[in-house]
Amino acid sequence: LLQISILIIASIFLLKINGARNDSILTLLMIGSVLSVYIPKRFNKTISIVGTVIVFFLSILSIFITKILPYTTNLYDSLNVIFNGRLQFQYMLFTYYKPQFFGQLIPEIGLGGSQAPVLNYFYIDNSYTKMLFMAGIAFTIFMYCILIALVRRLINNDMYKLVYIILIVI
């Protein structure tokens, strides 16, 4: 009960004080990991496997979403609004750069969260896309393999609470 109370307070704090909507939602999802100890193992295993497939699929989809959805569609426009214009930056990234096997330097221009307009602002907001372009294809595949092996080992050892926490972080 204490862990759940702390997570609820942290979630409210993140939302109200910091305005971090996504972090607040993810913190509330952590309550599920706390409650996972009360779920039978076979259900936990099924939920973990399905959750792992969904999370890894969505993380890979998030890299290529601007290549899959045409720039001129209403769905792209709606998603871009939901993500505060960040899909536009990803579209620009794919327009000007291509993923390299060992990565590349891509200049990002920002002002560290300043509220003032920044000339030629460009930032890669998606961590997985940033990893693919800047660290390279080899490193990205290596990281996915490590994460998949880790989650698989945790599932095999019935460590579902940790599986859920890792999937939320991913």
* Phi, psi angles (nearest 5°) of residue 98: -125, 145
Residue 23 to residue 27: CA distance in whole angstroms: 6
Listed residue (129, 130, 132) closest to 102, CA to CA: 132
Residue 41 to residue 85: CA distance in whole angstroms: 41
For the cut 70, the answer to whether the pLDDT of residue 83 exceeds it is yes
Instruction: Quick: pLDDT tens for 107-126.
Output: 888 766 666 676 777 788 88
pTM of the model: 0.85
Q: What is 76-87 written as a DSSP string? A: HHHHHHHTTTHH
